[in-house]
Structure 1
């Protein structure tokens, strides 16, 4: 190092904290130069460049005061301070300098040691999650170094920056998919139905990306809300651990598939190969679920959807479906073409797969059962396509007639004024209730109708509860006869309760929520296993202050009255936090004291040591 380079080095910000070897070489170079023969000149140069060395030495002195304490505790304190500083002051431009030819060898040496520590890896993951570091070369280099260790792949499934490397993405995909596929047909049909039940086309088109994308944590929470049931009840209890692991990995699978276009294409290609080679339906369910999630996030995946259906012999039909899925709208010329294709080829399996698309089925349900569009004499055509698509190519005249009858009634309900809705609705209820149990196409259409009505007339219902009663009766009947619609109904009630209206009086909102709580209680009566989901959702609302304590108290009292002794272990664990909550228990009626005391005694006998272990359901 010559004198000029040495002087530039010493004038750098915080040169005292640079590489000790380089610092020593720079000082020696200046000492050997006549111009800087005086050591005082060198000290002046170092002092001029000082910015934070004293602060660093002060921190070092503070850490040394812990030297007599536990070694691990001291190390944790030091690491926490350093990592917090790194997270706040990380400079990607300085980090890039570590990758120069002169420093690359030493960088790889200390980096390989650093990533062996779980704590430092977590710091790297947190840096990688920050938007300003989404394309940082240093962090991008770190990901393959971590991925070399196969045992650490499970950590990278939650780090999107790592997925930019194809090899790592494939490893993460394998890590996530294998447990999901291993549970086989234990995956509930309702999981896919839930994802479709809440599709919303009223806000944006696929080309509009104005809304910010939710982060991974938000997605995990949302899937917990919308997809509450992962597996069919009654599966082998020995497989519960595998099922819980698969449930944990499901949101990561959806996040990986929706992260980028190439990620979606790779995962769908893998799943489609499995669909053709395997006998089960797990891969198909996961494929539909990923497609529905991509649609919910406003991704245009229409061209991949039609391609994977294998309908290459019907190019015009594929193009028609592609345009409908792309625009999220039932474009009339394309609908006409689909109708003709189905009529001419009623047994074509590729056409069945093409029209069973979740977006298309939901668009048809909305057009038939809500008041969003005027069909103007096209009802029979839409009803035929809806029944044909939702029933896998089967469409009888009786089924189509039932859809038309119920759709007409629902649209009348939806369009009626508040003053007349209750009278007319109660008169039409019997004919609706007759077909709810026998036609799943009708059941799904009614759910979409109820979801639309409850959301659009929420304030009206709060002001006039009588007009809300027939809709609640219809929802209860829907839950009674359609187990797959119970989770979406529970999610709908949860959303309605959590959505407060500041312009409505508190008393009106309280009575409105009371009626929704009764509907949630009705879900408990439809099946004992579903009671756990209802209780967990009620506690979720209460802890987040969406539910008045009087409503929770009423829920607990009526639920204990419905359940009766003996209680299952899962029921005891789920309800115990609410029963023993001081604010809830303080207002129990005297008639309910015996039930609550019996519940608490049963709980204490079952868990005498206070150790709570989730019972196998």
Structure 2
């Protein structure tokens, strides 16, 4: 009886489901035959608020204002949407899923998801932590996924991925543009990810091994590194005006679409353990059937991102790389990946296995965390290592980089294994490692003389791709840890600048990472450095950017500087210096994309006013005259 009265006392109870009202009224009449009918009527009248009718009348009035009907609808929907987001109660929403109400719920829910506004409302609710397992919102996802055209919206809604069918549809939607983007983009993106990957070492995991010095690496810990989302910002602007890459014919997917999908791909893979395993299994199948390396690069990218987020995926990584016939090697690699440290016994076991005739697949070595650990130990560390350790690390590092294997796709049997370049790569790695480790231990005024003496040897080694990756990680540590030496004597910075410039020359795939690294330095404040020293320091960084631009990385460099300027991350004088230096190295005729990118910086009042009276005015005037000539309307005859 009291429950029936409570139903009729709700605000606007008359708008509740008819069967619910009928049941409550019958209950009151049955328990109170004499006045039950009047009581039910009075309760319904008292609870009536007229909210729906009020909104209807309000909407009718709004149609008489100057706005069109759609604008009126948008206003009302916006207000209702805000109210829903603020007052949504998942416990009350579950009442829509009772046996009696489920049929009606599915009917109005199917109509509701037709509207973009209400779908967005559902997405906003689903992404709130308190609603991550809400049954009503989970039910909404299949209703949306019925339409294939709406799958693109669900790739950013984690709640939808809990349903296997929807997850697979989202995987297909995301992978198509990524696989069609081609190897070039994947190489850039993968190299960027590995270049900044910072293993989280366990100090207690090994007492005999001296890991990369924490005093050096504290300035470049994983929290300060560019996230994988930044790949989109640093790689998206390419010099060929966003032409789609495809290694297997024409593709209707644009490069920008592939970059947009990259973030969704990584989020889906790292959302849950079963999602990671499923996505990696799909990519492994694709990698065996595709001729290009796109799927392999996506596998490594996902592994790197999972490691960056602190997920232990070592057992899946070692199992899926085709080394199941080598359990000892798998266990050794799994220990290294789990601890994120170069465990001596495990490294020794791997070296012996890969020096044997029946070596495990090279894919077992090509793990992002393992590569980063080796690169740091060989190049970025100043700690002492035994000769045996250096030999082991250099061999495994070189083996992973240069060995070429041919695998039978169906049986996963190795057909051939070419190791001819391992010894040469190892010599290059050891020579570059020796120089980097010596530079790391030098300080004071003597650093410049010693560095210039070793510089030619180091530059010759940079054409070896594994060396270039390790040296990049080395110079990034140096620029963070030797700022005091740079302040005392800027000449000590010049050898490292020469190395950075050479990296940009010889390894095009490192250019996005170099741009991110230089930008990080340029936008950061240098505490304790005198103003004049800081100005000279940042001018030298601008020189690195200009050289990177001259290597062909044009639009990303200009767009990055423009973004820093608009966000007040760099001083105006630095931007002026950048503009003049760029115009010095760029000659006529200017490419259209170059002019359109640089022109907003040149004509900005804060920049142009300082350029007009400077000694480099001629370069600026020539550029502006050429721009006006190219963009002036052609005379009509």
| TM-score class, shorter | 0.7 to 0.9
Contact 1:36 1:42 in 2 (8 A): no
* Contact persistence 2:12–2:51 (CA under 8 A): no
Cα distance in 2, alignment partners of residues 459 and 290 from structure 1: 38
- Cα 1:440/1:186, change in 2 over 3 Å: closer
Question: Which range moved further: 118-127 or 576-585?
Answer: 576-585
1:222 corresponds to 2:248: no
Matched, 1:362 2:369: no
How far has the Cα of 1:81 moved from its partner? Answer: 0.7
Give the Cα–Cα distance (whole angstroms) in 1 for the partners of residues 528 and 19 of structure 2: 69
Q: Which piece of structure 1 moves more, 121-130 or 588-597?
A: 588-597
1:473 deviates by 1.6
Aligned to 2:337: 325
Question: The residue matched to 2:611 in structure 1 has which SS?
Answer: coil
**Pair 1:66 & 2:78 matched:** no
Aligned residues: 590
Tell me by how many angstroms 1:9 deviates: 1.1
**Which of 152, 162, 165 is equivalent to 1:164?**
162
Using structure 2 for the length normalisation, give the TM-score. 0.84
Question: In angstroms, what is the RMSD of aligned CA positions?
Answer: 3.3
Counterpart of 2:448?
A: 422
User: Which of 522, 538, 541 is the matching residue for 2:561?
Assistant: 538
Which residue, 579, 587, 599 being the options, matches 1:576? 599
Aligned to 2:211: none
Relative to structure 2, which stretch is displaced further, 463-472 or 145-154?
A: 463-472
Counterpart of 1:107 in structure 2 is 105
The alpha carbon displacement at 1:172 in A equals 0.6
Report what 1:399 is aligned to. Answer: 425
What's 1:612 paired with? none
Q: CA deviation at 1:176?
A: 1.2
SS in 2 for 1:587: helix
Q: Say if 1:603 and 1:89 are closer, same or farther in 2 by CA, change over 3 A.
A: farther
C-alpha spacing 1:274/1:398, structure 2 compared with 1 (3 Å): closer
1:36–1:495 CA distance, 2 compared to 1 (3 A): farther
Structure 1 position 87 matched with structure 2 position 85: yes
Q: Distance in 1 between matches of 2:42 and 2:528?
A: 70
Query: Residue in 1 aligned with 2:215?
Result: none
SS in 2 for 1:534: helix
Secondary structure of the 1:135 match is coil
For residue 415 of structure 2, what is the aligned residue in structure 1? none
Mapped to 1, the partners of 2:582 and 2:558 lie a distance apart of 9
- What's 1:481 paired with? 506
2:606, 2:202 → 1: CA distance?
43
Aligned: 1:389 with 2:412: no
Structure 1 residue 596: Cα displacement: 3.4
Q: 1:548-567, aligned counterparts within 5 Å?
A: 548-567=571-590
Question: How far off its partner does 1:487 sit?
Answer: 1.7
1:198-209 → structure 2 map (5 Å cutoff): 198-202=196-200
Residue 299 of structure 2: SS of its match in structure 1? Answer: helix
Q: Which residue of 1 aligns with 2:218?
A: none
Q: Cα gap change, 1:457/1:136 in structure 2, threshold over 3 Å: closer, same or farther?
A: farther
State the alpha-carbon separation in 2 of the partners of residues 21 and 230 from structure 1: 63
| CA shift in 2, pair 1:61/1:409, >3 Å | same
Deviations 1:171-220 (A, max 9, x none): 11111112222344454422221111111025779x9xxxxx99xxx967
Alpha-carbon distance in structure 2 between the residues aligned to 1:465 and 1:58: 74
Which of 264, 270, 276 aligns to 1:264? It is 276
Which deviates more, 166-175 or 505-514?
505-514
Deviation at 1:163, TM superposition (A): 0.4
Q: 1:17 to 1:387 in 2, by over 3 A?
A: same
Q: Which has the higher contact order (CA 8 A, sep 6+)?
A: 2
| Partner residue, 1:150 | 148
Partner of 1:457: 482
TM-superposition CA deviations, 1:520-573 (whole Å, max 9, x none) = 11111222xx11111111112222221111111111122122112222121122
Equivalent residues of 1:383, 1:404 under 8 A apart: yes
Deviation (angstroms), 1:43: 5.2
Structure-2 change in CA distance of 1:161 and 1:486 (3 Å)? same
Q: Look up the match of 2:74.
A: 76
The verdict on how the C-alpha distance between 1:595 and 1:541 changes in structure 2, with shifts beyond 3 A counting, is: same
Distance 1:31 1:506 in 2: 88
**Larger mean Cα displacement after TM superposition, 425-434 or 599-608:** 599-608
1:380 paired with 2:391, answer yes
How far is 1:371 from its partner? Answer: 2.1
Work out whether 1:351 is the aligned partner of 2:361: yes
Give the whole-Å Cα distance in 2 for the aligned partners of 1:38 and 1:182. Answer: 70
CA distance in 1: counterparts of 2:14 and 2:525, whole angstroms: 58
Cα 1:63–1:462 shift into 2, 3 Å: farther
Contact map agreement 1:30 1:42 (CA 8 A) in 2: no
Is residue 316 from structure 1 mapped to residue 328 from structure 2 by the alignment? yes
SS in 2 for 1:547: coil
SS in 1 for 2:75: helix
- Indicate yes or no: 2:254 matched with 1:242: yes
- 1:336 corresponding residue in structure 2: 348
3-state secondary structure, aligned to 1:565: coil
The one of 546, 551, 555 aligned to 1:526: 551
Distance 1:588 1:23, change over 3 A: farther
The answer to which of 367-376 and 331-340 deviates more is: 367-376
**Larger mean Cα displacement after TM superposition, 108-117 or 419-428:** 419-428
Q: Deviations over 1:356-407 (max 9, x none)?
A: 2222222111111122543222222221222112212455444323322221
Contact 1:186 1:232 in 2 (8 A): no
C-alpha distance in 2 between matches for 1:459 and 1:13 = 71
| Paired position in structure 2 for 1:180 | 178
Task: Report 1:297-312 matches (<5 A).
Answer: 297-312=309-324
CA distance in 2, matches of 1:111, 1:44: 30
